Amino acid sequence: MYAIRKLEEYLRSNATPAASRELQRLLDALKEEKEFPLSSLYAIDYEAFELAVEAMRDWRIDRYYAGDPSITGRSPASNEPEPSCSG
């Protein structure tokens, strides 16, 4: 999640109001796993756009590792209760 931290630092330090608004919407959408209109990134400056792409790339990689049980050592169903055996 290094890219997201970089993006948050950019927002605090030197983002334009338009870039700040769109990047914050993107971060919120990624964190909440909601839809985000990628076309809105067209309106921001190139540096902000590159940070957004980098953040999406990191987010995708993190989701891949979180969803792969062979990497995390957990099965997807590990949070489900075990079925009871009657008989």
Structure confidence by residue, pLDDT tens digits, 28-67: 998 898 999 999 999 899 999 999 999 999 988 887 777 6
Mean pLDDT of the chain, nearest integer: 79
Say if residues 2 and 58 touch (Cβ distance below 8 Å). yes
Residues of the chain above pLDDT 90, percent: 32
Distance, in Å, from the CA atom of 28 to the CA atom of 34, rounded to the nearest integer, reads 8
Distance, in Å, from the CA atom of 44 to the CA atom of 24, rounded to the nearest integer, reads 12
Distance, in Å, from the CA atom of 3 to the CA atom of 59, rounded to the nearest integer, reads 9
Which pLDDT belongs to residue 14?
79
